Structure 1
Amino acid sequence: MTDERASGETGGESHQPDDQAAEADDETAEETEDEREDDRLTLADFHDASQEAGRPVLTAAAVARTLEIPSEKARDALADLAGRGDVERLSVETDPVVWYPSELEDLTDRERVVVFPKRREVIVDRPDQFTRAQLSQFAHLADGNGEQGYRYVVRPEDIWQAPHDSFDTLARTMRQALGQRSEALEDWVHSQWDRAHQFRLTTHEEGYTVLEAKSPEIMGNVARQKLDEEHVHAPISDTEDWVREGSEAAIKRLLYEAGYPVQDHRDLESGEDLPIDLEISLRDYQRTWVDRFAEGGEGVFVGPPGSGKTIAAMGAMAHVGGETLVLVPSRDLARQWADAIEEYTSLEPHQIGQYHGGRKQVRPVTIATYQIAGMDRHRSLFDDREWGLVVFDECQHVPSDVYRRSTHLQSRHRLGLSASPIREDDRQTEIFTLVGPPIGTDWEALFEAGFVAEPELEIRYVPWGDEGQRNAYASADGQERYRIAAKNRGKVDDVRYLLSAHPDAKALVFVDYLEQGRDLAAALDVPFLSGETPHHERRRLLEEFRRNERDLLVISRVGDEGIDLPTADLAIVASGLGGSRRQGTQRAGRTMRPAGGALVYVLATRGTREEDFARKQLQHLGRKGMTIREQTVETSGESDGSDADE
Structure 2
Amino acid sequence: MRIEFDDGTLLLRDAPDGVPHAEWDDRVDEYRTQARHYRSIRDWAGEWDDATAENGQLELHQSAGQDINLTDDARAYPDLALTPAVQIESREYQQAALNAWRDHGRRGSVVLPTGSGKTFLGIQAIADAGVATLVVVPTIDLMNQWHATLTNAFGDQLSQDIGVLGGGSHDVTPITVTTYDSAYRYIDEYGDRFGLLVVDEVHHLPAPTYQQIPEMTIAPYRLGLTATYERADDKHEVLEDLIGPVVYEEQVDNLAGEYLSEYETIHLSVNLTSEERKRYDEEYQIYRDYVDSHDFDLWKETGYQEFLQRTSYDPQGRRALIAKQRAEKIARTAAKKLDTLDNLIKRHHDDRVIIFTANNEFAYDISKEFIIPCITHQTKTDERTEILERFKTGEYSMLATSQVLDEGIDVPAANVGIILSGSASKRQYAQRLGRILRPTEDREPARLYEIIAADTKENYVSQQRRQGVTDSADS
Alignment TM-score, normalising by the size of structure 2: 0.74
SS of equivalent residue, structure 2 residue 473: strand
Shift, 1:445, TM fit: 6.6
- Give runs of aligned pairs for residues 46-85 of structure 1, distance below 5 A: none
* Match of residue 332 from structure 1: 141
- Are 1:455 and 1:599, in contact at CA under 8 Å, matched by a contact in 2? yes
Offset at residue 475 of structure 1 (A)? 0.8
**Matched ranges for 1:589-628 at <5 A:** 589-595=434-440, 596=443, 597-622=445-470, 627-628=471-472
Name the CA shift for 1:283/1:269 in 2 (closer, same or farther; >3 Å). farther
Q: Aligned letter for 1:336?
A: Q
Could you tell me how far 1:205 is from its partner in structure 2?
Answer: 9.2
- Other-structure match for 2:255: 447
Structure 1: which amino acid aligns with 2:123?
Answer: M
Gaps of 5+ in 1: 1-201, 213-226, 235-241, 253-263, 632-646
Please report how far the alpha carbon of residue 243 of structure 1 lies from its aligned counterpart in structure 2 after TM superposition.
7.0
Query: In 1, Cα distance between the equivalents of 2:342 and 2:403?
Result: 21
For 1:351, the equivalent position in structure 2 comes to 161
1:320 equivalenced with 2:168 (yes/no): no
Residue 359 of structure 1, CA deviation: 2.4
> What is the alpha-carbon root mean square deviation over aligned residues?
2.9
Asked whether the equivalents of residues 155 and 161 of structure 2 are also in contact (C-alpha less than 8 Å), the reply is no
- The answer (yes or no) to whether the contact 1:204–1:210 under 8 Å persists in 2 is no
Partners of 2:17 and 2:424 in 1: CA distance = 41
Match of 1:290 in 2: 98
Does structure 2 retain, via aligned residues, the 8 Å contact 1:422–1:581? no
Cα distance, 1:583–1:298 mapped onto 2, change above 3 Å: same
Give me the whole-angstrom Cα distance separating, in 2, the residues matched to 1:463 and 1:453: 32
Residue 546 of structure 1 and its aligned partner are, at CA, apart by: 2.3
TM-score (norm 1): 0.55
Q: 1:330 and 1:512, CA in 2 relative to 1: closer, same or farther beyond 3 A?
A: same
Correspondence 1:585 to 2:430: yes
Equivalent position of 1:186 in the other structure: none
Note closer, same or farther for the CA distance 1:415–1:457 as it changes in structure 2 (3 Å cut).
same
Query: Identity of aligned pairs, percent?
Result: 28
Structure 1 contact 301–438 (Cα < 8 Å) conserved: yes
Contact 1:270 1:411 in 2 (8 A): no
1:561-580 matches, cutoff 5 A: 561-576=407-422, 578-580=423-425
Question: Structure 1 residues 618, 382: CA separation in 2 closer, same or farther (over 3 Å shift)?
Answer: same
Instruction: Give 1:599 deviation, angstroms.
Output: 0.7
What corresponds to 2:304 in structure 1?
none
Cα distance in structure 2, aligned partners of 1:490 and 1:343: 47
- In structure 1, the partner of 2:233 is 425
By how many angstroms is 1:412 displaced?
A: 1.4
Within the candidate set 208, 214, 217, 1:401 is matched to 208
Alpha-carbon distance in structure 1 between the residues aligned to 2:455 and 2:17: 59
Aligned partner letter, 1:401: P
Residues 5-63 of structure 1: CA distance to partner in whole angstroms, max 9, x if unpaired? xxxxxxxxxxxxxxxxxxxxxxxxxxxxxxxxxxxxxxxxxxxxxxxxxxxxxxxxxxx
Contact 1:270 1:322 in 2 (8 A): no
- Pairwise CA distance, 1:442: 3.0
Return closer, same or farther for 1:502/1:535 CA change in 2, 3 Å cut-off. same
Cα distance in 1 for residues equivalent to 2:275 and 2:244: 52
Aligned residue among 373, 376, 384 for 2:183: 373
| Residue type of the alignment partner of 1:619 | Q
Query: Is the 2:76–2:194 contact (alpha carbons within 8 Å) kept by the matching residues of 1?
Result: yes
Read off the aligned partner of 2:167 and give its amino acid letter.
G
AA partner of residue 454 (structure 2): R
Q: CA separation of 1:605/1:326 partners in 2, compared to 1, >3 Å: closer, same or farther?
A: same
2: CA distance between counterparts of 1:346 and 1:372? 23
SS at match of 2:329: helix
Contact 1:276 1:346 in 2 (8 A): no
CA distance, structure 1, for counterparts of residue 197 and residue 18 of structure 2: 23
Task: Kindly provide the amino acid, as one letter, of the partner of residue 327 in structure 1.
Answer: V
Contact 2:349 2:397 in 1 (8 A): no
Question: Matched residues in 2 for 1:206 and 1:588: separation?
Answer: 55
Q: Quick one: which amino acid aligns to residue 616 of structure 1?
A: Q
Deviations 1:340-360 (A, max 9, x none): 122344646852122212422
Shift of the 364–208 alpha-carbon distance from structure 1 to 2, 3 Å rule, reads: farther
1:379–1:469 Cα change, 3 Å: same
Displacement after TM superposition at 1:591 (Å): 1.1
CA contact 2:15–2:31 (8 Å) conserved in 1: no
Give the distance between the partners of 1:561 and 1:604, measured in 2 at CA.
Answer: 22
Q: Number of paired residues?
A: 384
Quickly say closer, same or farther: Cα 1:361–1:522, change in 2 above 3 A: same
Q: Which residue of 1 aligns with 2:61?
A: none
Deviation of residue 629 (structure 1)?
Answer: 1.2
Amino acid at match of 1:488: A
| 1:472 and 2:279 are equivalent in the alignment | yes
Structure 1 equivalent of residue 77 of structure 2: 271
Counterparts of 1:161-240 in structure 2, within 5 Å, are 232-233=23-24
**CA apart distance, 1:322:** 1.3
Q: Which has the higher contact order (CA 8 A, sep 6+)?
A: 2
The structure-2 alpha-carbon separation of the partners of 1:593 and 1:314, relative to structure 1 and needing over 3 Å to count, comes to: same
Paired residue for 1:413, among 204, 221, 237?
A: 221
Query: 1:461 aligned to 2:266?
Result: no
Is 2:152 aligned against 1:307? no
The 8 Å contact of residues 375 and 400 in structure 2, kept in 1 or not, is answered as yes
1:449 deviates by 6.3
Gaps of 5+ in 2: 1-9, 41-46, 54-73, 288-323
Residue type of the alignment partner of 1:392: V
Q: Distance in 1 between matches of 2:165 and 2:124?
A: 22
Return the offset for 1:204.
7.7
Report the 3-state secondary structure (helix = DSSP H, G, I; strand = E; otherwise coil) of the residue aligned with 1:571.
strand
**For 2:343 and 2:247, how far apart are their aligned partners in 1?**
41
- The one-letter amino acid paired with 2:169 is R
